[in-house]
Structure 1
Amino acid sequence: MGVTGGSGSFSQINRFQGYDGLMRWRPDYSGVIPNVAEKVQSSKGGATYTFSLRQGIKWSDGEPFNADDVLFWYEDVVLNKDLSPDPPAWMMIDNKLGKVRKINDYEVEFSFAKPHGLFLELLAEPTNDAPVRYAKHYLKKYHKKYNPKVNDLVKQEKLTDWVQLFQNHGGSDDDTVRWTVSNQPLLYPWTFTKAPDGGTGKAVAQRNPYYWKVDTQGRQLPYLDGLEYSFLAGSDTNSLTLMALGGQIDMEDQFFCIPQNKPVLADGRQKGGFDFYTTTPTEPNQAVIQLNLNHKDPVKREIFTNKNFRIGLSYALNRQEMINLVLLKQGAPWQVAPSKGSAYYNEQLATQYTEYSVAKANSALDQAGYKKNGSGVRVGPDGKPISIAFDIDNGRPVFVDLMPMIKTYWQAVGIQVNFTAMERSLWEERVRTNADFDATIHRFGGGNGEEVVLDPRYYFPLNGNSVFAAKWQAWYNGLTGSSASAGIEKPPAAVHKQMKLYDQLKQTVNTDQRTKLMNQILAIAADEFYVIGVSAVADGYGIVRNDFHNVPKSMPNSYIYPNPGPCNPEQFYIAS
């Protein structure tokens, strides 16, 4: 089987073969269900969760899995400051780390100082499977607590310390580490015989002979004996399209499945032996424009944090033209907001400043205090022309195609713009770990259903995905040192209020009360107007070969719902 992704990104692996945690999403995204856990019971108003682990599960090397592996993750990884300088955010409530206790070989208890209302949903997210991903019998060889001669291994492998040794052998939540170790025991349906190296080329995985799931007739899963991933350069969508047309891709809905490619794929699907399936969006916008509100340059920070400046930029965008030309008329002018009909819909947040009006744009920019010079260019408080440099992930061609239009619109109202499209790993480094980038475009986040609550990254500075305010989110999450590489700064009052409301929301088990709290957060987001949207997200698509079966005709498309993971890829099969 062939699955194709962009270089430097392990999202395809997470989505296809890496979704087996304690909990998982139902295929229809209607809620979470136990997975590696057979059942879970909540008590003390949501402050304690007791998991009964499925008995008989084995790691991919045949060794038994039990509660000792969960305790190893908690006691020897999470509580070890060398391995985990910052604890996992989903294990925190009121800035206090939860506790894990072994009841017996197949029961573990997670307890918190206060109710953790979102805990089970967070456990179902794709990268929160850590409690069942650290095989004690394998990893203890590389842990200083269990191996007194661990430094001998460090020297043999010419590494700096035992922490690097432990991580290099799979003991890390970082995808670039955990997926590049081919011999580590895992609970997934397939394990690598040729691991990805983070670049271009191929990776090969084979079926896990000890995988613990069976079908309704008692046959062991997965059906597919192996997977093959082809990693191409992030911007090489033409090669991906040609591979699809040539029948070389069994299934794919990322990277090259963009509106511009659908007509040629539709024309070639009969010859290529494939058809489409629908992906339903959960994001709040097709393209989220983010100025760096925490810029380390005080002049740029003053400009970008000026709300009238952002309002002016928003009015200057001809959204309908962008939708017509880049999105092929799929979408509608929209800010970054929950979808209409959602329990979280906020009309102000969704529709404000979406009118295309050069006059209103100029008026707002004038009110911001940045007048034009003799050349028609607006100058900042330092007397220099205002310029905005965008860093763009070249693996997202829609963003790259939008940028020349954004540049034209903003230059028309006196703002200089330039942009650089770069390989994804460089984009990650530039945007996620620095405080000196000007602006970027991204997507994802919550725009529909409970995903609004679980991933409000654009509604206030929640976590590292809130790149528009990295210093504020670092303060909120109590980050220190290298974990807050962009710096730490206490946020202004409105942002702080949102954070306090979200803390209250996280401790709320009652869904109606959570909805009320989230709507208060969204009302503040509407008033503050942190980020700028382009278009509501229309349905997307994926391609699947005609001989590749059990793929649903439609599925959600999200990071939190890591399609197709919840649709059970272990039951996909090939038959003519």
Structure 2
Amino acid sequence: MKTTAVLAASVSLGLAGCATSDRTTDSGSATGSGSSTASGGAGDTFTFGAAGAPEVFDPYYASDGETFRVTRQIFQGLLGIKPGTADPQPELAESWEPSEDGLTWTFKLRQGVKFTDGEAFNAAAVCYNFERMFDQNEVAQAGPAEYWAYTMLGFKGSETESLYKSCEAKDDSTAVINLTRYTSDFPVMLTLESFSMQSPKALKDGDANNVQKEGDGFKYPAYAMAPVGTGPYKLGKYDEANKTISLVRNDDFWGEKAKTANLVFKIIPDESTRRQELEAGSINAYDLPNPADWKGLEDAGNKVLVRPAFNILYMGLNPEKNSKLQDLKVRKAIYMALNRDQLVATQLPEGAKVATQFMPDTVAGYNSSLQPTKYDVEGAKALLKEAGAEGMTLQFAYPSEVSRPYMPNPQSIADALTADLEAVGIKVEVVTKPWNGGYLDGVDNGLFDAWLLGWTGDYNSANNFIGTFFGSDVNDFHTWKTDFGKTLSKELSDANGIVDEGKRTTAYEALNQKIMEEYLPGLAISHSPPALVVGKGVDGLTASPLTAEMFDTVTVAKS
């Protein structure tokens, strides 16, 4: 999930991006613990307290977790996500098979599926969707079609060559997607909400691609607020005045029907207010409860579902702005100065752990032989002295007005790390800016010596982590400005292009070791398991490492 405003250029989502994207102490399944229920539920309605409102309901033009939380219930992709994991599973495609060179992928489609406007889902619909995503106007290319730009890189007619080449409908149940080059991200990238299948008729009738620039934002076509998918729910009403989004069950859904007839998202930006509404019974669940509240919520009879951690908190370093950071010894000294065991124990939620590398251990390519850099005050001082950097000054930035799954309280984390740095003789100049009020722009533009940021994975791929961080000539770590940056970028590109899975995994394991021991472009801090909370009488909700929960399995006990 993206952590910055520009997905294609830097490390978000906020798949809550990101959030932008964006997790284990139990199976993640909620179990009802009483007969009472929220008034928002009434047995046939599940009401979720959402932190924000979608700008559009067309997932192709979305990039934030709050939008995807809604559209995920309306749409489906060729690939889905196995509940409780980050692993792909069949959804609208029952199976898929690559050619030997990995450039041609044949998808066998589920038959008998219809969009909620009655149109048939088939191979022609798949190809229509991919061609629609590929053929975007300049406004969309530079703006809201950012997930395509991030994954497929180029559009029809653009200077950048697209990963996507073409789509062929062999017959109603067979779609073939051709790529211009191999990538380990395909087809797992198709689990992203932006690749959801939408009704070709509705897209065409709604002039869906007609995105226009409007002031500092965009003007979207009518279809963007009236989407048509194949999912277990369909859009009922978006009541902006009362800040609610109402979905209704798709009774013609091809699979098992949703357990509740109504799914309501009540928009409540403040986390403490969401808790109060849960306690009052006006909502049934909400995301990212404050870790300090977990015990109290459970003591009150609610269920806190802790997601497996699929994220990373890191300290970025900018050797171009602070020349002392060009010395590997200085970067290692700073890493040794950080008491990460204490940080995890005192500042992060239960289940958090110290990171050994820039990806979680569930991703193929994770190097299990790496050990955490040891906390060593005297060793750090010795390295700083050896590098001629005793008493160096480090400008250190952290964000305000934000809470992220990997960084629940940025100020307290920054305070702890600042104290560690000062303990080895580093003079720290602390800077803070609002998350969307200068901080992310400051990171993008290299305004800080060091900073806190993080990432929640979009999908289960090593390239989605370290390839995003260090593999392009534009990234938050500014590695293209370093002597080793071009070498690392090529090494990552080469690894991503290895078709053989075993050899590719070995290559990524070796690269993780080089990144941590030879390059050290940034400092991996920790992995934190975010949570969501459900109220009494709620059952059937499975927590997702990707924060990609489905709500069609949820039941709410009648009061």
Identify the TM-score tier after normalising by the shorter chain: 0.7 to 0.9
* 1:74 aligned partner: 130
Checking the alignment, whether the CA contact within 8 Å between 1:52 and 1:107 is kept in structure 2 is: yes
Checking the alignment, whether the CA contact within 8 Å between 1:43 and 1:49 is kept in structure 2 is: yes
How far apart, in 1, do the equivalents of 2:215 and 2:271 lie? 39
Checking the alignment, whether the CA contact within 8 Å between 1:337 and 1:350 is kept in structure 2 is: no
How far apart, in 1, do the equivalents of 2:410 and 2:474 lie? 17
Residues 167-178 of structure 1 mapped to structure 2, 5 A cutoff: 167-169=220-222
Q: 1:223 to 1:30 in 2, by over 3 A?
A: same
Checking the alignment, whether the CA contact within 8 Å between 1:60 and 1:209 is kept in structure 2 is: yes
Checking the alignment, whether the CA contact within 8 Å between 2:432 and 2:439 is kept in structure 1 is: no
How far apart, in 1, do the equivalents of 2:185 and 2:461 lie? 12
Matched, 1:395 2:451: no
Matched, 1:185 2:235: no
Does the residue aligned with 1:443 lie in a helix, a strand or coil? strand
Q: Of 100, 113, 127, which aligns to 1:57?
A: 113
What is the deviation of 1:42?
2.7
* 2:549 aligned partner: 564
Does the residue aligned with 1:557 lie in a helix, a strand or coil? coil
* 2:78 aligned partner: 22
Does the residue aligned with 1:394 lie in a helix, a strand or coil? coil
Matched, 1:408 2:445: no
Residues 194-205 of structure 1 mapped to structure 2, 5 A cutoff: 194-195=237-238, 202-205=243-246
* 2:195 aligned partner: 129
How far apart, in 2, do the equivalents of 1:135 and 1:320 lie? 53
What is the deviation of 1:518?
0.9
Q: Of 264, 289, 311, which aligns to 1:256?
A: 289
TM-score (norm 2): 0.73
* 1:468 aligned partner: 477
What is the deviation of 1:557?
1.8
Letter in 1 for 2:552: E
Checking the alignment, whether the CA contact within 8 Å between 1:23 and 1:123 is kept in structure 2 is: yes
How far apart, in 2, do the equivalents of 1:401 and 1:38 lie? 47
Letter in 2 for 1:355: Y
Gaps of 5+ in 2: 1-45, 55-63, 155-160
How far apart, in 2, do the equivalents of 1:72 and 1:164 lie? 24
Letter in 2 for 1:238: S
Q: Of 266, 291, 295, which aligns to 2:317?
A: 291
* 1:575 aligned partner: 557
The structure whose RCO (Cα within 8 Å, separation 6+) is larger is: 2
Checking the alignment, whether the CA contact within 8 Å between 2:444 and 2:476 is kept in structure 1 is: no
The percentage of counterpart residues that share the same residue type is: 15
Q: 1:328 to 1:521 in 2, by over 3 A?
A: closer
Residues 485-496 of structure 1 mapped to structure 2, 5 A cutoff: 490=480, 492=482, 494-496=484-486
How far apart, in 1, do the equivalents of 2:97 and 2:362 lie? 33
What is the deviation of 1:261?
1.7
How far apart, in 2, do the equivalents of 1:240 and 1:464 lie? 41
Letter in 2 for 1:226: L
Does the residue aligned with 2:244 lie in a helix, a strand or coil? strand
* 2:141 aligned partner: 84
Checking the alignment, whether the CA contact within 8 Å between 2:84 and 2:545 is kept in structure 1 is: no
String of CA shifts for 1:349-405, please: whole Å, max 9, x gaps: 5412x3141x33333333444343xxxxx35xxxxxx42333356123332321222
How far apart, in 1, do the equivalents of 2:208 and 2:119 lie? 19
Checking the alignment, whether the CA contact within 8 Å between 2:207 and 2:221 is kept in structure 1 is: no
Q: Of 418, 430, 448, which aligns to 2:430?
A: 418
What is the deviation of 1:320?
3.3
How far apart, in 1, do the equivalents of 2:324 and 2:230 lie? 50
Letter in 1 for 2:545: N
* 2:255 aligned partner: 214
Q: 1:430 to 1:92 in 2, by over 3 A?
A: closer
Checking the alignment, whether the CA contact within 8 Å between 1:459 and 1:521 is kept in structure 2 is: no
**RMSD of the alignment, in Å?**
4.0
What is the deviation of 1:221?
3.3
Q: 1:169 to 1:532 in 2, by over 3 A?
A: farther
Does the residue aligned with 2:511 lie in a helix, a strand or coil? helix
How far apart, in 2, do the equivalents of 1:509 and 1:337 lie? 23
Gaps of 5+ in 1: 145-149, 171-180, 373-377, 380-385, 473-489
Matched, 1:142 2:195: no
Checking the alignment, whether the CA contact within 8 Å between 2:358 and 2:465 is kept in structure 1 is: no
Does the residue aligned with 1:505 lie in a helix, a strand or coil? helix
* 2:342 aligned partner: 321
Matched, 1:548 2:538: yes
String of CA shifts for 1:250-289, please: whole Å, max 9, x gaps: 233x33242x2222223322xxxx2233422233x4x322
* 2:13 aligned partner: none
String of CA shifts for 1:413-463, please: whole Å, max 9, x gaps: 23223242625x44685257544355432334569xx93525223885146
Checking the alignment, whether the CA contact within 8 Å between 1:60 and 1:187 is kept in structure 2 is: yes
Checking the alignment, whether the CA contact within 8 Å between 1:319 and 1:333 is kept in structure 2 is: yes
How far apart, in 2, do the equivalents of 1:239 and 1:202 lie? 14
* 1:276 aligned partner: 304
What is the deviation of 1:21?
1.0
Checking the alignment, whether the CA contact within 8 Å between 1:68 and 1:136 is kept in structure 2 is: no
Matched, 1:237 2:271: yes
How far apart, in 2, do the equivalents of 1:211 and 1:347 lie? 47
Q: 1:464 to 1:515 in 2, by over 3 A?
A: same
Residues 30-41 of structure 1 mapped to structure 2, 5 A cutoff: 31-41=87-97
Letter in 2 for 1:467: D
Letter in 1 for 2:247: Q
Letter in 2 for 1:228: F
* 1:43 aligned partner: 99
Matched, 1:102 2:139: no
How far apart, in 1, do the equivalents of 2:215 and 2:303 lie? 50
Does the residue aligned with 1:289 lie in a helix, a strand or coil? strand
* 1:178 aligned partner: none
Q: 1:499 to 1:221 in 2, by over 3 A?
A: same
How far apart, in 2, do the equivalents of 1:196 and 1:77 lie? 29
What is the deviation of 1:522?
0.9
What is the deviation of 1:31?
4.1
How far apart, in 2, do the equivalents of 1:54 and 1:134 lie? 15
String of CA shifts for 1:320-371, please: whole Å, max 9, x gaps: 332333236754544434567987454675412x3141x3333333344434
Checking the alignment, whether the CA contact within 8 Å between 1:282 and 1:446 is kept in structure 2 is: yes
TM-score (norm 1): 0.71
How far apart, in 2, do the equivalents of 1:6 and 1:419 lie? 27
Checking the alignment, whether the CA contact within 8 Å between 1:58 and 1:64 is kept in structure 2 is: yes
**Which is worse superposed, 513-522 or 491-500?**
491-500
Checking the alignment, whether the CA contact within 8 Å between 1:334 and 1:351 is kept in structure 2 is: yes
Letter in 2 for 1:531: G
